[in-house]
Structure 1
């Protein structure tokens, strides 16, 4: 079985499902104002940029703008730098919970990152206040924590000898109802959109849902175990997800995935 082999964030495993992860990023990007990429002395930030795939697309969409990718993973940043040649695009290590831009931002963009931070909703007003009038905050977060893919993580954690080790492990932080984000951001916004989309993701291969989550929501559980336990735990979770998301006769596994989008313009 193709199991995760390391507790280190696996950039290659994450990128295995790049197409499914890129579509919501592009849907979010489509709501950005092109005028916000042309003001000199400012930058577009990709917060939680990972391996830089989306940062590079931002640089293409905004050909006059400086784009700066921020991430906490050195492995991801090394991969991003190795694949980037543009002088307008750079990457830096940073803490999203205490983000302080070196260059004034016109757009703060984040695709599937803030769901890792407990209490992220309280960080968003700070991000808005970093923007000038007319600047945009654009955030996408998975909101799939009540789906079988995520509920089964805890069930698998309780189903084996690793139970005590995993008792205190939490996965992705709860993403709140859309109205909560609307209420928090509305006082700082001249325009505000909050919406959800459920993507019917088409996956193939062995244990596709387990493979998909292994580099994201399942990762904290895997990191808490030694190599032998990790393999057995992963196998248990993979069997559970295979039952919850059966492979169709054509070899396709449909994986419904809910995502929350926020686009706010600074008053």
Structure 2
């Protein structure tokens, strides 16, 4: 299992090779999650019982001071996403959903909604490199991990700049990331994954009431309790349409009841 330290070291090595004589100044992390009870009920106002896992996403980068260049550089080190592995976003233009690469929409969507929500006095260009240890398509919320890590990076970026932005609560942050996935990645997801990535606590699971997005921590410290997560090597793709069909079926069933 790749640790946070190993992910960060790999990112630093790649950054220094790509940008010699330059050092990143910011680093963010968000975990993946496993759900213990409650499948396909977060978007049906149900209860879910997830917990964070040690696997996660790390983002390193820095603000770009060149005021003449209002572009953000975003690159992923993942081999399991579509090409190209890097994109540029021009902050002087409206940020739109990308036809390709699809992976970038999870990042670009968070950027767009973060700027829309916080309304900074000055938009800050940046460059970032992204790496994740969460298996993509493995049902462990790699997308939410990337989204929350990106939102955390943007919080750090703007906190260290002269832009005056309001602080996001953890629930606001989760809702922003969830909305980004719905709009930019075209996935009709519920709140569970992003909520867990924002609210997770060591040695605890989260009991989330998706009716009002409240939660309580449930201790998981009993040494006789072990949560074993195995990789079935079966991959799913939320944007492929099957997930959207399940959401629709749940809505139809609720109407019948």
Q: TM-score, normalised by structure 2?
A: 0.30
Higher helix share: 1
Q: TM-score, normalised by structure 1?
A: 0.29
